[in-house]
Structure 1
Amino acid sequence: MHSSITPTRRHVVRAGSVLMLAGLVGAALTGCSGSASGSSGGASSIPKASAAVATSADAFGGMEGLVAAAEAEGKLNVITLPPSWANYGKIIAGFQKKYPKIKITSQNPNGSSADEVAAIKSQGTGANAPDVVDIGTAVLDANKDLFTPYKVANWADIPDEYKDADGLWYYDYTGLMSIGYDSSKVSAPASIDDLLGSAYKGKVAIKGDPTQANEAASAVYLAAAQSGGSADDVQPGIDFFGKLKKAGNLISVLPTQATVNSGQTPVVIQWSFNNVAWGSAGGSTGNPNWKTVVLPGTAIGSYYNQSINKNAPNPAAARLWEEYIYSPEAQNLYLAAGAYPATLKAMTDAKTVDETTLKTVGEPPAELVQLTADQAAKAATVLKAGWSKAIG
């Protein structure tokens, strides 16, 4: 992982490498994989209070005990996981097929990282509070007191720099910042500055408020990287969006598959796995004219984090979810959507990676750049101070 947006050698990631994903993602987003049921017939012998502080499956006597405890709870609350986002529809279906005694409730699928935190704070110890989160680094870093440590069985497969040493959080996957566009309405941009042109007037959208949502913030980081900025200087990215707004090109509509299909948001800056999923890979719900381009230059990524709510109403199920997320089964499902999973190297070494999928997706850029936790926190401060002023 590199701390600067301007790496020591330049990597070009061209549109074709992303467009190759279309057929693969289409197959991955439909149907339900899942393995034979991993349920245990035994009853849980560990009280909820003990489950809530368990730092590994050993606290349950091993995986069989963890499964039994989770099935005794019978519920799992997840939040902000759209089915088309990084293959979460199929990941959720796979978990439910493997553990049919556990019912998943998926809350606020189109919400942001800030919405996850707000839900945890507002619902407290209530039965509907999120058990687990998939959250951006800056928001996580500002709210670490809400979470509790847990180390999955294959903890060693997660690189040291991808996890908190005590198990409070761990990376799960990253995409590449990309530009999706309706090829029937606009031509492909060759640079970020192309978006300032009159052809894109009233057409460019991002995924929410960069001060609240990691994906939107990463669009700003991309603009910074393309405008002479760095991970330590995201102001050029804010300035770019100020120009985009002044030109009348930036719109405030929150982009979704529906707004893409209706033509409300002809251009969207977001993660590659989302843009690809909104095109022909989305099957009957996708837009066949929707194309994806990753701009030449620095590849911008941002791993999302898994963490467990310290007040999770279903603490055993929360921990079983994490065990599933870091299994090769779920990690390969991330990969099938074009999202690079945290355990990719370990899976490659162990030959548990889906080789066909990896060849189709392509190896991740050798110098994939993302902000460190400290840089993300500083960038968040800069965004909070300057975003509304720039686009007001």
Structure 2
Amino acid sequence: MLSSNNTDGLNLEKLFFPRSIGIIGASHNPSGGGFFVRCLKNRYRGPIYLFNPRLSGKQLYGYEIKSSILEISDFIAYRILAVPARLCPKILEEIGQKEVPFVTIFASGFREVGNEDLEKELLHIAKNYNIRIIGPNCIGVYNPKGSLYFAFEQSRKSGNFGGIFQSGGIAQNLAQLGVSYGLYISKFISIGNALDLSPVEFLEYFLHDDQTKIIGLYIENLRSIEQGRNFMKIVQNCNLNRKPVILWRVGYGEATKKAIISHTGGLAGNNAIWKAVGKQTGCCIVNNSNELAERFGGFQEILEEMGFKDTDLNKEFIRYISKAKSVCTKPMFCVMLKINEGFEEYKSRYKFKLKLLNRKIPIYENLNLTAQVLDKLNTYREFLQKHGKYPNN
């Protein structure tokens, strides 16, 4: 059953479950519009319309290419704009005339290279026509249930992990990494520069989305103080409603800050500020994609304990999926354990094998990651206890 998310007139269900898609700038170029055609062909369940005036009348993967979106009368719910940045304002005007509600802008060459005026022009056009923009400088939406994909051969199986990422490459990597852990995606959004739709709007959606239970974020910058306040408020609301938020906040080093400026044009905040954000909102701060995927696995176990057993995790144990970085020459999946009565007593009560990823894998004793892992996860439990949201309170 789909959620009925509609905040201040913004209905993101139309974005995540569009009845049709238009790709502007479609071509054989695998790094341009052709990339999206390859991702969606034979997978998206609705009509796909392709546009490129240079290839008008030709076929691409069995789809006929039209010259302009103004040529067709069919309503297209979602457009992917994959043309150079300088052409985006003119085509966005045409999109507005067709009353398209959502547009993903793939092109770079905006704020991140100092071209803020071009962004302002896009935003002005979008407001005139009531268009909501994802991006620019992004790859849009991955939603297996809605048959939307932003990488080749992505899993069609859906799960409960939602994500918002300012890097398309990170979003693709996390989607693939999650599957390797046996974890699956509800919806991922690559938002790039976040000119219009920001992490705040998508977090509000995830808060009310029945399918999404755990939320991952990759944030390079927030565009204003007001957006920062709204961000903290909605992150806290998600955590208090037992939808834990895992935040990969980058920009701690000077080199990373320079890289961020070149990517989204944002200025990275102070390390201490973001640690305070984690403490105040209850979110789990991580430093890389592996940590983010691992915390997702851990939170999934915690939520199962809270939701079905209604037990105090301090008195029992926390199961946590991670990669072994020692013990064996090749990385293996293992389960980390924390129990009050001690490891040996637990060892006598439980078997040392489990079925994961269709294989039986031993649980090893001498892993040194347990304390760090559980400390991060316990932060969330303590946050819930403090606010009276933990099951035993």
Regarding TM over 0.5, the answer is no
Provide TM-score, normalisation by structure 1: 0.23
TM-score by length of 2: 0.23
Write 1 or 2 for the structure with the bigger share of strand: 2
Higher RCO (C-alpha 8 Å, min separation 6): 1
Structure having the higher Rg: 2
